[in-house]
Structure 1
Amino acid sequence: MTTPKTEIYFATRKRASAHVYITKGQGKVRINNVPVEMIPQETAREVILGPLEITGDLRDKIDISVRVRGGGFMGQASAAATGITRALIGWTKSKKEPKEHPLPKSTREDLRKRISDFDKYLVSGDARQKEPKKFGGPGARRRKQKSYR
C-alpha cells in the first residue's frame, strides 16, 4: 500500500503561523489534530471553513490537516484560512503526474478562478502589513525632547 502524496503550505497572520497538509481523501478537515466541527469558537470555525465553501462538492475529495501555533484564536483562524486557500490553489496547479490528481484540468482551473474571485487577499496574504521605518524620519529621541538646548 502506498501512502498518498502530501503537500505542505505555509501562512501567517499577526503572530500566528499555520502549516497546511493537503492530500487526496474523504473530506476531513482537522485543526491541530482536532476535527474542525469541534472548535468551540463559531466565528473562528466560519473563517476557517470559508475557503472550503467555495470548493463545493470538491471538498469531499481532499483531506486537510492544519497545524497552527501562536497568536489568538482569530489570528490562528485567519492564518489557517489563508493556508488552506494557498494549499487549494497550489494543489490545483498543473502536476507532472496528472493521472494521480483526483480532479480534471478544467475543474482545477475553475476552482482556481473561483478562489481568486472570492478574495484576492486570501491568496496573497493580508495587505495591512506593518510599514517599515523610513530612513531620516523622526526617531524616538526627537519626539520626546521639546528643545535641543
Structure 2
Amino acid sequence: MSIAQVITKGTRKTAISKCVCSESNEFQLMVDNMTLDVHHDNFLVAKIKEIMKIIGYEHLENLKFELTTRGGGPISRAYAIRQAFAKAVISYFGKYYDEQRKQDIKEQIMKFDRAALVADPRRVEPKKYGGPAARAKYTKSYR
C-alpha cells in the first residue's frame, strides 16, 4: 500500500524550502523538525498561519507536512517555507482530490498574495569594480 504524498519546492532569494505533504490521521506541521508551537521564529509562524487561515483548517485536517529549509536569512526562509506549503496543499488536492477544490484554493491564495505561489526571479546583482556596490560609483573630485 503506497502512501499518498506530494513533494514541492519554494524559493525566495537564496533560501530554498522543501515540503513533503502526506496523508495522516491528524494535522501535523513540522518546520525543520520542530512543530509550530515550539518554533522560535514568530514571523515564520505568523506567515504560515496566515496561509492556513486562507486555505481553511477543514481542508488540512488529515494532512502531515514536513518542511525543511536551506540558505538565506530568516525572512526569505519564512517566505520560501510559505510558498512550499501553499504549493504542497494545491498539488495534493489536485492529485488526490477533485480539480474544482484545487482551483478554489488556488484562487483564494492568488487573490490574497500571488507571491505565495509564484517564485520571485529577482536576485542580488553582484558588485562591480569602481564603486562600493553593484551600480553606485565612488565620488570623483577635480579640486
TM-score by length of 1: 0.74
1:74 maps to amino acid = I
- Matched with 1:19 is 18
Q: Secondary structure at the match of 2:66?
A: strand
The reply on whether 1:51 has 2:40 as its aligned counterpart is no
- Given that 1:92 and 1:112 are in contact with CA atoms closer than 8 Å, whether structure 2 keeps it comes out as no
Instruction: Give the corresponding residue for 1:79.
Output: 80
On the 8 A contact 2:13/2:123 being kept in 1, the answer is: no
Q: Which residue pairs with 2:123 in the alignment?
A: 130
Counterparts of 1:1-149 in structure 2, within 5 Å, are: 2-25=1-24, 26-56=26-56, 57-93=58-94, 95=95, 101=96, 103-126=97-120, 129-130=122-123, 140=129
Deviation per CA, 1:26-83: give whole Å up to 9, x if none.
Answer: 2111001111111112222111222221121112121111011222222211110011
Q: Give the drift of 1:18.
A: 0.5
Deviation at 1:132, TM superposition (A): 6.6
- Structure 1 residues 3 and 37: CA distance shift in structure 2, 3 A: farther
3-state secondary structure, aligned to 1:91: helix
The amino acid of 1:30's aligned partner reads M
| Alpha-carbon separation, structure 1, partners of 2:77 and 2:130 | 36
Determine which structure has the larger helix proportion and give its number.
Answer: 1
Contact 1:10–1:17, Cα closer than 8 Å, also in 2: yes
Q: What is the TM-score with the length of structure 2 in the denominator?
A: 0.77
2-side partners of 1:83 and 1:105: how far apart? Answer: 19
**CA RMSD in angstroms, aligned pairs only:** 2.5
Q: Deviations over 1:107-143 (max 9, x none)?
A: 333212212212112111236x13778xxxxx63595
Return 5+ residue gaps in structure 2 as ranges: 132-136
Partners of 2:91 and 2:84 in 1: how far apart?
10
Unaligned runs of 5+ in 1: 96-100, 134-138
Q: Report the number of matched residues.
A: 133
* Kept in 1: contact 2:5–2:92 (CA 8 A): no
